[in-house]
Amino acid sequence: MGTTDSTASAPLRSPEQGVDAPGTPGRRPSAALRFLPAGAAYLVLVAVLLKSGTAPLDVAKYTGYAVWAVVLPGTLVFRALRRRPHTLVEDLAFGAVVGLVLELAAWALLVSLGLQSLALAWPLAVVVPFAAVPALRRHWRPSGYRIPSTAWSWAVAATVAFTSLYLYVVALRTNPIVPDSETTRQYIDLPYLLSLAGNAKHHVPLTFPQAAGEPLNYHWFTFAHMAMTSMVGDIDLAVVQMRLMVPALSALAMVVAAVTAWRLTARPWSGPVAAALVFAIGEFTVNYPADVNSWVFGALSVPLMSWASLSLTYSLPLLLALIAAVGDRLRGADADAAVPGFGRGAFVLAGLFALASSAAKASSLPVTLAGLAFAGAVVLLVERRIPWNIVGLGAVLGAAQVFTTAVIFRFESYGLEVVPFGNIKGYWADPQQLRSAPVQAGVVLLTVGAFVLNHQLRVAGLVPLLWRRRLALQPVQWFLLGGALAGPALYFVVNGFNASYFTLAGLPFGILLSAWGYAESVERARLSRRAAIALAAGTVLFVALLTWGIQRYSRDWAEFVLRNTGDLTQPRTYAALLPAVAAAAALAGIALVGGLLWWALGRRAVPGLRRRGGLVLLTGVLVAGAPTLLLDGLQTREHVWESAWPMPAGQVQAARWVREHSEPDDVLATNTHCRPEDDYADPNRGCGNALSFWLSGYSERSVLVEGWAYSPRVMAAGNGAFWDEPLLRLNDEVFHRPTAENVGRLRDEHHVRYLVADRKAGADTAALGALARPVYDNGRVAVFELS
């Protein structure tokens, strides 16, 4: 994305085209023009941040943090590990991911030693040796870069810009950095994630902030990254979470996807295709509005999850870089001639990316290991030899998985368990056994087909790749195919909503293979400029019509389908799947009729597309999920997510006051454990959850007992009860029936410094004021200090 070539004008290029090799004759564009796409993408990102209320100083500080503490040290180390340079954009992209890994090591050392004040200086540990050691100095200014084409650079930059605009519409514009009114609503997980980042500023390993001292056996590397961003950049954690990290990491993921696809396929244009498929195109659905309750197969990769599942967003560039490092060692000699391989440094890179991925998102490494095992098994069976490079990579990745499972997760399953088809068998359930065996088999196939339609259309490009090669694949292709299959397979075997993240972990593998297949299909088609323009225009028109149709007729379509299809003898457990399956069938019928008409009547209209119907069809399938993001933007303007819960400014103000007037090791106590949807408007309305995270989130302090719903103990037990009833009873008695004795016990036995009482949740603040020193009161929340 950072460099261009003005000679690139043809819509189609061979693997050797689309780049300028060193020494290519002809006039080169100036450096300013070569970096224009990257600059434009950056300016769009800055514009949306400023438009959404981010302070210019925070944007400047974050930019400085990213350059100084992520890109610079990471790029130097990456250059020292890879054998020969390919492109500058690749060095910077993979260098940034290496920087994220190095940052984790710096965080662990600084926080464990209590040296957080030196966080800004940690990159010197890399910069100084690379400046002082003669053998390392050459990595400051390497030579021999290839220059991506102008079109390639602008295509990737456009995807990044689209990412920024999408996030502005669906998240940045609608969510204040800090809740600013008593009616502010916020996605329920965000204060919890903020509390983990606050905890990471002071604890190695992390503890569970809502129950002081409780261990957190969880994938928490994301929150170490947030803590370092805040400490190095001197930026408020709320700004990091609500504005800066998600757009930046999403942009990084797009660029890493592009350079990974180019590296593995040796085809430059597979890069922009992969970048678009990773983010700009979502799952296929015909629901509008498409809220959490309409997610029939668990979490989606883009809507909501990109800005609310921070671990998913953080893990994606790490996973893509891991795929690149592993895949690089599995490429053939012909690919290495077109794109220089990493060399043996790929094993070190794979180890770094595997270790970081393992506890960035727990689903990433198992899928990668499964893909690698799949490739090894195929090579062993087909070539009758032991693939030692795969064995070596497996040992590296396996060691990372074992370490994380034992040390970080401590063998905690977080409620996941092996239940074959537990996540989807409810759709084909027939409790009264009213269906015949053939009908039941049809319902099972309908369910699996609906899953493929919903989650897997973006990997359709692998079909022509497998077909043309007659399954005679390279090891790197078997690796990608194995990962693409392993994600859904694990989702089918492991039960629980969080198992859907296995599906999302498998998608990058399938998308890279899909981009490979699509790039080969375009090469074989040899489109003229006119035909390429016609294909692009037709694609835009198809996406626009599909978006309009779903937005306008979604409800009518669902009613029509459910009224005219299905098993009438009992409630249809598969009913939620029918509208999308019927829509896909209708689109397939339209495509068939259109193809016949084109063959019979319209072939002369665009001669360049004759005998290229397969490419047109493949393009339509790949972009069928494009309306998802567009509709997500419309939905944000017209509807509120049902998982957006009250986050009153009064609570947040009190919590932030406590942060400014307490020490990191101070323990707080509060009377709120649940998060009512009506913010206590109805005092008689019960609150059966334990989802209160506001105090720990915005104070960045641990609370004796706050909301415990996401604790490893509760997730594993599945019963929702707090594990220490005497402690919970003591905590609540202090707020509802305070005495000198129970207040003293909190202070002396549990080291509580502040009592934070939300009057709406019920508290005897008058009695507390007689037993503890009042230090803050905003009318809703009162804070008392125990001296």
Q: How far apart are CA 531 and CA 68, in angstroms?
A: 46
* Residue 787, Cβ density class (10 Å: 0-12 exposed, 13-18 middle, ≥19 buried): exposed
- 8 pLDDT higher than 80: no
Locus of tokens 């994220």: 100
Closest to 108 in 3D by CA, of 244, 227, 238, 241: 227
Closest to 100 in 3D by CA, of 62, 60, 73: 73
- Please check whether residue 777 is in contact with residue 766, taking contact to mean a CB–CB distance below 8 angstroms: no
Q: Is 281 helix (H, G, I), strand (E, B) or coil?
A: coil
First to last CA, the chain: 58
- 340 pLDDT higher than 50: yes
Q: How far apart are CA 438 and CA 417, in angstroms?
A: 30
Q: What is the DSSP letter of 189?
A: T
Which pLDDT does position 108 carry in this prediction? 97
* Residue 779, Cβ density class (10 Å: 0-12 exposed, 13-18 middle, ≥19 buried): exposed
Report pTM. 0.93
Q: Contacts by 390-396 with C-beta closer than 8 Å and gap 24+?
A: 390/330, 390/475, 392/347, 393/326, 393/329, 393/347, 393/350, 394/369, 396/347, 396/350, 396/351, 396/354
Q: Is the N-terminal amide bond of 289 cis, ω within 30° of 0? A: yes
Rg from Cα positions in the chain: 27
- 686 pLDDT higher than 90: no
Confidence bin at 605 (pLDDT 50/70/90): low
Which pLDDT does position 771 carry in this prediction? 95
Which pLDDT does position 660 carry in this prediction? 97
- 7 pLDDT higher than 90: no
Confidence bin at 413 (pLDDT 50/70/90): confident
- 473 pLDDT higher than 70: yes
- Please check whether residue 390 is in contact with residue 368, taking contact to mean a CB–CB distance below 8 angstroms: no
- Please check whether residue 77 is in contact with residue 126, taking contact to mean a CB–CB distance below 8 angstroms: yes
- Please check whether residue 346 is in contact with residue 336, taking contact to mean a CB–CB distance below 8 angstroms: no
**In Å, what is the CA distance from 81 to each residue of 22, 93, 348, 745?**
22, 14, 8, 56
Helix axes of 245-265 and 310-328: crossing angle, nearest 10 degrees: 20
Which pLDDT does position 718 carry in this prediction? 74
Closest to 194 in 3D by CA, of 783, 659, 781, 732: 659
Maximum mean pLDDT: which of 220-234, 408-422, 680-694 = 220-234
Dihedral sign computed on CA atoms, order 492, 496, 501, 504: positive
Instruction: Output phi, psi for 261, to 5 deg.
Output: -60, -45
Six token digits for residue 723: 């594990």
Beta bridge partners, 783, equal 756, 776
- 231 pLDDT higher than 50: yes
Instruction: Output phi, psi for 204, to 5 deg.
Output: -135, 115
Q: How far apart are CA 561 and CA 580, in angstroms?
A: 10
User: Going along 581-733, which residue ranges are E strands?
Assistant: 644-646, 667-670, 702-703
Confidence bin at 334 (pLDDT 50/70/90): low
- Please check whether residue 756 is in contact with residue 654, taking contact to mean a CB–CB distance below 8 angstroms: yes
**CA 98 to chain centroid:** 18
Alpha helices in 190-331 (DSSP H): 190-200, 221-233, 237-239, 245-265, 270-275, 305-308, 310-328
Q: How far apart are CA 527 and CA 698, in angstroms?
A: 56
- 410 pLDDT higher than 90: no
- Please check whether residue 506 is in contact with residue 487, taking contact to mean a CB–CB distance below 8 angstroms: yes
In whole numbers, what is the pLDDT of the chain averaged over residues? Answer: 90
What is the tens place of the pLDDT at every residue in 515-529? 999 999 999 988 888
Average pLDDT over residues 450-469: 94
Q: Is 751 helix (H, G, I), strand (E, B) or coil?
A: coil
Average pLDDT over residues 68-76: 98
Q: How far apart are CA 443 and CA 259, in angstroms?
A: 41
Helix axes of 388-403 and 364-383: crossing angle, nearest 10 degrees: 160
- 110 pLDDT higher than 90: yes
Q: Is the N-terminal amide bond of 176 cis, ω within 30° of 0? A: no
Confidence bin at 682 (pLDDT 50/70/90): confident
Confidence bin at 9 (pLDDT 50/70/90): very low
Q: How far apart are CA 615 and CA 525, in angstroms?
A: 8
Q: How far apart are CA 331 and CA 389, in angstroms?
A: 11
524-558 exposure pattern, b = at least 16 Cβ within 10 A, e = fewer: ebebbeebbebbeeebeebbeebbeebbeebeebb
- Please check whether residue 729 is in contact with residue 243, taking contact to mean a CB–CB distance below 8 angstroms: no
Q: How far apart are CA 130 and CA 79, in angstroms?
A: 11
Q: From the CB of residue 515, how many other CB atoms can be counted at a distance below 10 Å?
A: 34
Percent of the chain with pLDDT over 90: 76
Which pLDDT does position 25 carry in this prediction? 35
Task: Please provide the size of the chain in residues.
Answer: 787
Which pLDDT does position 3 carry in this prediction? 38
249 or 33, which is more confident: 249
Q: How far apart are CA 387 and CA 477, in angstroms?
A: 15
Angle, alpha carbons 629-633-638 (nearest 5°): 140
Q: How far apart are CA 254 and CA 242, in angstroms?
A: 20
HEC profile of 532-577: HHHHHHHHHHHHHHHHHHHHHHHHHHHHHHHHHCCCCCCCCCCHHH
Confidence bin at 24 (pLDDT 50/70/90): very low
Residue partners of 277: CB distance under 8 A and separation at least 6: 458, 511, 514, 515, 622
- Please check whether residue 222 is in contact with residue 311, taking contact to mean a CB–CB distance below 8 angstroms: yes
Average pLDDT over residues 259-270: 96
Dihedral sign computed on CA atoms, order 497, 502, 504, 505: positive
Amino acid in position 14: S
Confidence bin at 613 (pLDDT 50/70/90): confident
Helix axes of 221-233 and 56-66: crossing angle, nearest 10 degrees: 110
- 249 pLDDT higher than 90: yes
